[in-house]
Structure 1
Amino acid sequence: MKNNPINSSLGIFPKSWSEEHAGRIPGNIPIWVGILSELTEFGIFFVAYFIAKFYYPEVFTQGPQSLHTSLGVTNTIILLTSSYFMAKAMANIRLDNKSKCERYLWLAFFCGCLYLIIKTWEFYWNDLQGFGPSTSEFFTVYYYMTFNHFLHVGWASCAILWVIFRLRSGAYSSKENSGLEALAVYWHMIDLMWILIFPLLYVLR
């Protein structure tokens, strides 16, 4: 979440904070170790996707047409919105505005829950259509990637609740907010993974 003149002009980051932390890597070492391990895991999924697509081109051409694309689009919008809320939560804690920070954290949490509800309905809808992990190579990859991402959104949403509890107990302020920042970095990583997953599974033919 490195600052730049555009962010400062929009008021996303206060000037004093940005000057003090310019060039600093957000979060902490443990969260980046976790993120790198998660990126490796998703990277393996992406490699598996392209290998399977190479060997079964017809299956991967037909597969996306069987999915409920509108639900995928809706979840994409929800996750992008949640990232905005998380960024606003960070901006407000850096201003020591804890009430607004908590409000945006709750909004991000509700977005996470809404994503999980819609994704659960999508899995149910797939089942009604007779599509499961063993239906075809496409659906095997689809379920491995989307269910894994589903789990990440689930426990990251639980982490938001923990951060809200910590915020209310006075653990975070403009001077000390590394825990909240680590969550924000992780949340943005999850959203980024979905931005990559969505076109691969729902758009590309």
Structure 2
Amino acid sequence: MKTTPLKSSLGIFPKSWSEKSAGRIPGNIPIWVGILSELTEFGIFFAAYFIAKFYYPEPFVEGPQSLNTSLGVANTIVLLASSYFMAKAMSYIRLGNTAKCERYLWLALFCGCTYLVIKTYEFHWNDLQGFSTNTSEFFTVYYYMTFNHFLHVGWASCAILWVILRLRAGAYSAENNVGLEALAVYWHMIDLMWILIFPLLYVLR
């Protein structure tokens, strides 16, 4: 991300960091290989969604009305908050403030765990209503997409905990934070996928 002189002068970004990061892709090559593979996987799910919706329109009209939309909205808010906390953690590590960086990482981890708890309850709620992968074509797509995303949030949350431990061990600083940055990029990708999944499954008829 290229930083303007105005942003630098306002202190939004440290000058040294903005100069070093100009024209640089955040994270590292391995994380982008992983992200591209994940995007391909989700792309296949999205393609399956639209194909199934084209051939089975009625279940895709009735399906979203059967879901607990309030839980979907709650998880959307939780993940948006988590991305904010992750961005704040990155901004503080670039300033060399490891204490505040760790604080925001804990908040991001809390949001990740909250998402997992809400989604687990939602799966349980669906089960009580008698919904399963065999209920209809809509629920087959719903469970494949949401459970896959659930797994991504789960192991990314474990990665946040690992990064916190690494931060405490002094592995990251204002000058060396590529590992933390890679996690932040991956976390934002997971958040973006949910922003796409939520309207497709809970809102569109």
Q: TM-score, normalised by structure 1?
A: 0.96
Which residue of 2 is the match for residue 140 of structure 1?
140
- The equivalent of 1:42 in structure 2 is 42
Unpaired runs of at least 5, structure 2: none
Q: Which moved more, 1:163-172 or 1:3-12?
A: 3-12
Cα drift, residue 14 of structure 1: 2.0
- 2:17 is matched with 17
How many Å separate the matches in 2 of 1:78 and 1:191? Answer: 10
Structure 2 CA distance for partners of 1:110 and 1:8, relative to 1, 3 Å: farther
1:156 aligns with 2:151: no
In the other structure, the counterpart of 2:93 is 93
CA distance in 2, matches of 1:13, 1:85: 17
Cα deviation digits, residues 85-131 of structure 1 (max 9, x gap): 00000000001100000000000000000000000000000001111
Which letter maps to 1:194? W
TM-score by length of 2: 0.96
Q: In the alignment, what sits opposite 1:52?
A: 52
CA shift for structure 1 position 11: 4.7
In structure 2, distance between residues paired with 1:64 and 1:74: 16
Paired position in structure 2 for 1:64: 64
Moved more, 8-17 or 33-42: 8-17
Deviation of 1:8 (Å):
4.7
Alignment match, 1:171 = 171
Q: Which amino acid aligns with 1:175?
A: E
Could you say which residue in structure 1 is the equivalent of 2:196?
196
Q: CA deviation at 1:160?
A: 0.3
Q: What is the one-letter code of the residue matched to 2:120?
A: T
> What's the RMSD between the two structures over aligned residues?
1.3
Partner of 2:28: 28
- How far apart in 2 are the matches of 1:15 and 1:43? 38
C-alpha deviation, 1:20, in angstroms = 2.0
| Superposed displacement of residue 169, structure 1 | 0.4
Indicate conservation of the 8 Å contact 1:113/1:157, yes or no.
Answer: yes
> How many positions carry a matched residue from both structures?
204
Q: Which residue of 1 aligns with 2:115?
A: 115
Checking the alignment, whether the CA contact within 8 Å between 1:131 and 1:139 is kept in structure 2 is yes
